[in-house]
Amino acid sequence: MLELKNISFEVSDEKGTKEIIKDLNLKIDDGKFVVITGPNGSGKSTTAKIIAGIEQPVSGSIYLDGKDITNKTITERANAGISFAFQQPVRFKGITVLDLLKLASKKQLTPAEAGKYLEMVGLRAKDYIRREVNSSLSGGELKRIEIATVLARETKLSIFDEPEAGIDLWSFQNLIQVFKHMRETTKGSILIISHQERILEIADEIILLSDGTVVKQGTKEEILPELLKKANEKTALNKPA
């Protein structure tokens, strides 16, 4: 189980200090498929990065399976069982898709073994396994490879930061299938940062963030209808008379 207690996070610039996350508390139980949603700037991606250790909170504690990991490094958290898929996948000159999947799995995967992770995200393994993870790949391809690296890790907590960002409709349809499959097969928990209704629809739980704090957490059935109602009202208000 992952638990965040009283997490606060600030950013500073020449204008001063701004609190992005305010006394945030949340729990993610084992085996759950949880989606964090909320408006732009509500602190969703920052929360995900704090869990992975990419950002450090100014106060509060993070527990994984009861152990305090607040001061653990990114590497230590990764080795403790946290995976993170970036919203903007990183490019590497000279590192191939196969290299990256081997690093992710910590195994000397054969191309065939690595290929199964690519097939899971809808990429034909033979077309990609030897390619460099560089600018020759499209945004959608990089995104799917990024997700494949998380699948290859098979950890207890997999975090996906806006997996739908920057991918086309076809890829998105495939992505939904990937997450549905993960939900059925993974023994770990899945945490997705997303605005997408179709991702919210397959969640066990939804956490609604606003202005850096949790405003609601509950089952999909408890949260989603109200969210959709508010979204529809906003759309109606914005329509020209």
Partner 1 sequence: MIDEIQKRLLAEVADLHEVPEGAYNLRANSKLAGRSTTANIDIITKEDVSGIDIKIKDGTKNESVHIPVVLSDSGLKETVYNDFYIGENCDVIIVAGCGIHNCGNQDSEHDGVHRFYVGKNSKVRYVEKHYGEGDGTGKRILNPVTEVYMQENSSMEMEMVQIKGVDSTIRTTKAELDAGAKLIVRERLMTHGNQTAESIYETNLNGEGSSADVVSRSVAKDSSYQKFDSRITGNAACTGHTECDAIIMDNAKILAVPQLEANDIDAALVHEAAIGKIAGEQIIKLMTLGLTKEQAEEQIINGFLK
Task: Name the residue nearer to partner 1 (CB basis): 103 or 176.
Answer: 103
* 3-state DSSP percent of the chain in helix, strand and coil, to 5: 40, 30, 35
What is the bridge-based pairing of β-strands 2-13 and 16-28?
A: antiparallel
Stretch that binds partner 1, among 22-30, 37-45, 70-78, 137-145 (CB under 8 A): 70-78
Which tokens belong to 5? Answer: 């207690």
Task: Name the residue nearer to partner 1 (CB basis): 104 or 199.
Answer: 104
Which tokens belong to 99? Answer: 């290299």
Which tokens belong to 78? Answer: 């990764």
Task: Name the residue nearer to partner 1 (CB basis): 104 or 214.
Answer: 104
Distance CA 166, CA 88 (A): 8
Stretch that binds partner 1, among 5-13, 86-94, 182-190, 233-241 (CB under 8 A): 86-94
CB neighbour list of residue 116: distance below 8 Å, 6 or more residues apart: 125
Among 9, 33, 86, 117, binds partner 1 (CB under 8 A): 86
Strand, coil or helix: what is 155?
coil
Stretch that binds partner 1, among 59-67, 71-79, 202-210, 211-219 (CB under 8 A): 71-79
Backbone angles phi, psi at 40, to 5 degrees: -55, 135
Distance CA 8, CA 18 (A): 11
Residue ranges in 123-162 that form contacts with partner 1 under rule CB under 8 A: 149, 153
Q: Please say whether the beta carbons of 114 and 131 come within 8 A.
A: no
Task: Name the residue nearer to partner 1 (CB basis): 87 or 186.
Answer: 87
* 106 sits near partner 1 (criterion: CB under 8 A): yes
* 165 sits near partner 1 (criterion: CB under 8 A): no
Which tokens belong to 191? Answer: 């945490």
- Residue 99 beta carbon to partner 1: minimum distance, rounded to whole angstroms: 7
Among 46, 83, 158, 213, binds partner 1 (CB under 8 A): 83
Q: Which residues bind partner 1 (CB under 8 A)?
A: 52, 54, 73-75, 78-79, 82-84, 86, 90-96, 99-100, 103-104, 106, 149, 153
